[in-house]
Structure 1
Amino acid sequence: MNKKYSVFLGDNPFFGVNHLSQEIARNKSKNSQNFNNILAVINTALDNGVKDVVFSTHPELKNLITFLKNNSNIMERINIHPILPYAQGYVSKVNENGMMNTLKDVLGSVGFRKKIQILAKGGLGVVKNDFYDLFRVLIDIEMTKLENSKIKTVFLHDVVTDLALGLGVKKILQVFKEHIEKNYKLEVGVVTKNFPLLVSKMEEWNVNFPTVMTSFNKIGFQMNPSRESCERSLEKYDGKVIAMSVMAGGYIGLEESMKYLSSLPKISTLVIGTSSVENAKKTFSTIQNLPQQ
């Protein structure tokens, strides 16, 4: 007998992300970036008991949210768990244009009043190029994309999390946690591809995150430094773990994936992305109909 799982819908296929193949990602994105298709996939997920959606703050997210609000009542029915900041976009922009020009660019998508509020909170740090004040400003800009949405947990992007862990920069995690809790009164989580290092650093730095999204799958895909070490750290961590990459980017089938997850008693929540209604129906109905323990 299997335990009952809570399932989140992941957005990677919506925006053409596949961890195994860029070609697969491009082919999927042709279909999935059609907003009508995304709406249909989310509706199918809801019909099969999935009411939580993980969104990265992709440049197209604001347009997608506007479309969903204008063409359905779906935003009233789903819980959103954003992952931010959208690191991939900022890295290339900063390299090409510098931090201040990048900031001007992203502020261009925000209304005048909101822009003034964000810059006022950033204070002189923005002018002085203070990294942490700029970091807070980027968070605020990206949160505006989800205004008036039912936001549950705000996650720090794994690129930022793992960079902070690798460099030993405790303050990045502290600033993110404090900023979200103080200004938005929301639960804070982190995404990581090095769960053991995160667990170790949280204990060492006394910075606790109640929810962690990280990879768990049978072949150890994106489970750094190894599957075994991640499984050992799972026993030590007292918070909630949301398993991602459970099918290793499509390399493992659903049945095999669920069999592995059933061997990990502390995992009862997982995130799965899909770009088609047919696959969403099959995947989510299969998981929701697993017999309970």
Structure 2
Amino acid sequence: MDKLLFGDNQFFGVNHMSEEKARAQSMRFQDIGAVIDVLDAAYDEGVRSFMCTTHDRIALVAEHMRANPTRYADFSFLPCMPYAHKYANAVTEDGMLGALKRFMPEDGLINAAMRGGMSIARKDVEGIGTLLIDAEMAMFRGLNTPVIFVQNVVVDLLLGLGFKEAFRIFADHIKNRYGAEPGFITMNMPMLVDVLEEVGIKNPIVCSNINKIGFRMCGGLEAYERTLREKEFRAIAMSVYASGALPAREAIEWVCNQPNIEAIVFGASSRGNIRNTRELVEQYWRGAQPVGAA
């Protein structure tokens, strides 16, 4: 896993501090060409792992990468699922079967129908869950997906419900079907790490907010620092700038000096900001390896 990962919040108008900025970004990136331009800038700066939702428009990005394999030989997608609005819209427009056909690859339709039908009949959560994972992954066929994440909206719901075995189901399916590593995004990293350890997922990849001021870090900064010091897992830090509340240099220096940080995910809309983040990470990261080095 690269130590610097590029996120997609800016492409879909997500900004936790400014609604005005979010709207402006959403308008700018309505054209998929504008998204590709920023991804090209990141790629040329050495940031070649794209941690993205499974939004419908990401399928257009995936098509572009498939059509240009030489240009993007080292490009990796790190899908984050599910994207709930996509399912709701598809079912509304096409019905349940039509939604399934839209998302599943053609060669998987019979398998999906059998697995889905039997699962619903038996109320088999594992069968239904793995079917939905396969539906999400259809857009990435033929592309490099070394880590596949489940989104915090699902992770934290499962934590709240106490449905711990679901994490094991997800991890096993990702490893067995896609030869990838499972990742988990959460707003409560200390609790999740304990649960993953409990269900036997060793050295998991866990992505959560990690920043100097404790912004959106459920359980508090002290609990996060203790978990980073004491637990065996691979942490990915997101929201390191606390949505702009921290100066870039201060934020990167702090997070790069925390123990057990394997990677940082960040979003940017310009080559200058991408380059600035890359240079700061290379300056402060332990060992000072170039971005892109494992």
TM-score range, shorter chain: 0.7 to 0.9
Residue aligned with 2:246, SS: coil
Q: Which residue, out of 59, 75, 78, partners 1:78? A: 75
Residue in 2 aligned with 1:26? 23
The code of the aligned residue for 2:199 comes to W
Aligned counterpart in structure 2 of residue 200 of structure 1, from 178, 194, 204: 194
Unaligned runs of 5+ in 1: none
Say whether 1:170 aligns with 2:160: no
What CA deviation, in whole Å up to 9, does each residue of 1:123-152 have, x standing for no partner? Answer: 511455544322211110111110111111
Deviation at 1:102, TM superposition (A): 4.8
Equivalenced residue count is 285
Equivalent residue for 1:57? 54
Partner SS state of residue 154, structure 1: strand
1:36 to 13, 33, 37: 33
Residues 1:227 and 1:35: Cα distance change in structure 2 (over 3 Å): same
Do structure 1's residue 150 and structure 2's residue 147 form an aligned pair? no
Q: Deviations over 1:216-264 (max 9, x none)?
A: 0011112111111111111122121111111112222211211221331
1:7 to 4, 12, 16: 4
Match in the other structure for 1:212: 206
Paired amino acid for 2:137: M
After superposition, what is the alpha-carbon deviation per residue over 1:93-132, rounded to whole angstroms, capped at 9, x for unaligned?
59x96xx945642532445433223333435114555443
Which amino acid in the other structure matches residue 148 of structure 1? G
RMSD: 2.6
Scaled by the length of structure 1, the TM-score of the pair is 0.86
Letter in 2 for 1:187: E
Shift of the 238–88 alpha-carbon distance from structure 1 to 2, 3 Å rule, reads: farther
Amino acid in structure 2 at the alignment position of 1:266: N
Q: 1:217 to 1:130 in 2, by over 3 A?
A: same
In structure 2, the CA distance between the partners of 1:207 and 1:267, relative to structure 1 (3 Å rule), is: closer
State the match for 1:47 in structure 2. 44
CA deviation vs aligned residue, 1:77-108 (integer Å, no higher than 9, x gap): 21221111223544x559x96xx945642532
**C-alpha separation in 2, matches of 1:191 and 1:103:** 29
Q: Is the 8 A contact 1:39 1:68 kept in 2?
A: no
Q: After the TM superposition, which residues 1-293 of structure 1 pair with which residues of structure 2 at under 5 Å, given as runs?
A: 6-70=3-67, 73-90=70-87, 101-102=95-96, 104-127=98-121, 130-208=124-202, 210-290=204-284, 292=287
For the 8 Å contact 1:75–1:150, the answer to whether it is kept is: no
Q: What TM-score do you get using the length of structure 2 for normalisation?
A: 0.86
Amino acid at match of 1:189: G
Tell which has more relative contact order, 1 or 2 (C-alpha 8 A, sep 6+): 1
